[in-house]
Structure 1
Amino acid sequence: MKSIEGGFPSYAKFEPTSPGSDYYDPNHFHEELEKIWFKTWLLAGREEEIPNSGDYKTVQIAHENFIVTRGSDGEINTYYNVCRHRGSRLCTTEAGNFPRGRIICPYHSWMYSGDTGELTKAPNISDEDEGFDRSEHSLVSIRTETWDGFIWINADSEAPSLKESFNLPESWSIYEQYQMHRLKIGKTGTYNVKANWKLLMDNAEECYHCGTIHPELSKATPPMQPRQWVDEEVPETKVIKHVGSMGLNPGFERVNVDGKAYRPVFPGLSEEDQRKIAYLHIFPHSYICMASDYVFIAAIFPIKADESVVKGYWLFDPDVLEKDDAYIDDAVEFWDVTCQEDWEACALAQQGNESRSYKDGGTLTPIDWRVANFKKYVQDEMEKN
């Protein structure tokens, strides 16, 4: 790790934000879906959410809904949540299990294999019926890969692989010490936010606001301290961004509500890393916060131009969670409070972005340099695709 004097690089500068309409115009929002969201790898959850054959969860991205399910062979498959008969939604709950691995449409009982997506039964329809070919009515699948316990999905069949997009394993090497593949979910949370998805990512890209709206976070880590940046030899990609780490304030042993140590640190962490929280951002929609005794993940999903949903995950050592007296509230409360403070600020920003007085946007300061980088990522994707 290395420290950059001043906390931000020399190329940081004052520059305009995106225009206000980029945060509420429905046509622009639809274009972002097609050019960004349905062309990149997205964090769909954790493997332990669907541990058994037939288990499934759904992922909502704007008007699209996807079924992520584990097959009888243990492999994870993802399908559009759409029946090939008359377009009915197949799964009406966010999670569950398909008995015998059969996905059955609630409208006309067309039946599909969870392993392959193939249509296995259509009541009162025969394979001999002229004009009907069962093989042409399989569920539409999208690409699914896993890494470090996470599930990633991509609706673009021609996109580079996850390994190529993330430059794996090289870009992930500095996070191997957290052994996230073996961690387990201790708590999840869902947040409905009245703000455009980009405002939520903009917020995550800077801590300029932390001293103002995050008293709990500021007690644990100084918000404007010179951050420890990852060594430049560790590669980034278009979407993998090493956001560095922040040290603990004196008197704090852990990144939580009171600084007390309720759990042992992860095995293998250096003494220096035991007193830090490290951040990894994955464009366009997620970030991973690695403390010494837990990991918090936020995945942002667009619902409408002015509405988003955030899925939060708190991961802990499984040995901790198996204890009868396991205590995780200190970490859960810390990020729950911090997130709600963020989402309230983003909702206020949404209101301002919709003002006619803000049609040309505002100003990014040098402190907002990571916001500027994210803005450039979005602009590049919109112009390229």
Structure 2
Amino acid sequence: MPAISSKGLAMPQSPIRKLVPYAEAATEQGKKIYYLNIGQPDIKTPEVALEAVKNNDLEIVSYSHSAGFASYRTKLAAYYEKQGIPVNAEDIIITTGGSEALLFTMGSIADMGDEVIIPEPFYANYNGFATSSGVTVVPVTASFDDGFALPPVSEFEKRITDKTKAIIICNPGNPTGYLYTKEEMQQLAALAKKHDLFLVADEVYREFAYEGKKHYSVLNQEGIEENAIMIDSVSKRYSMCGARIGCVVSKNKEFMDAAMKFAQARLSPPTFAQIASEAALDTPQSYFDDVIEEYVDRRDTLIEALEEIEGVKVATPNGAFYCIAELPVDDAEDFAKWLLESFDYKGETVMIAPASGFYSTPNSGLNQVRIAYVLKKENLLTAVEILKEALKAYKNEK
């Protein structure tokens, strides 16, 4: 039998999606599942985006420019300008989701065996992107007790070697919901400048900052124009996860030239999704105001309910739509499987994402789960009630 590559064998499973077979089996058994494992909002996609696809007059669905529609990049640059991010269309490459933007970035800045430093827990697929690029993730562990704030910059500096190429952050954070302060962003910028590293910021949740807090982009930091790379996506902003449109943005021309070669190799991003994404830029601010109000309400409802369960602790997020909860279990992955395989409460159960998969350090986050508050409040309350009953039953069974 032909052998699978070592890279293929090393590729990690997604903690968000690897329990899907258990969920499918539970559904076949007639159980209703509340999906708290994945950041798929139930917020409606802006009508202007949907109408642009329905009412287009294309006769041929042709390739676009490898960097994406010029009209979309120009309009997107204007959007960033309103956010205080001075970029031009030439500083933007449209990608097939933020995932491809991250793959292009790792491929452009690092060689096999090079290293990137990432505060953990982090978006689980960073492990997969690093593995596929032959890059080693060097983690700096953030603390649950302070809400996963940026670890001391000295901890980052200790880990810098001659193989270090970049520091990567997600802001606001997935899975933590932590929003980096202006001072924290300045500290990272200064460190990247000092050691001539790239500072890569995954900013796909930029609109979701709560209690009046401000999002500070990596491209807002002065003096690191050659170091800064921003990753973005329409998936969460417009509730368009299935569109698979993202972008990579940088003022560093050499980096953008390298990324463009990766873009050319995959030909072009999808046409209809670009049409929808370009139209979505006309979404009024009122849409985001309503969405943020809704997410804050959901967050507060979820956390209040979770904190009433004995033994459960929650790190309160101030951005995105995730939180990390510590459960009174030794192995959250075993518990998550058991929820789907062996438990139901009135014919219903929940699906959660074990948080250990969001760490790179072995045996970290074993009693933690990521919960996405992307369901309506009444569904969140029902899901937490199920979780409460499940923890009682699991404790008795184990």
Q: Please give the range of the TM-score, normalised by the shorter of the 2 chains.
A: under 0.3
Q: Give me the TM-score of the superposition, normalised by structure 2.
A: 0.24
Greater Rg by CA: 1
Between Structure 1 and Structure 2, the one with more strand by share is: 1
The two structures have a TM-score, normalised by structure 1, of 0.25
**Higher helix proportion (structure 1 or 2):** 2
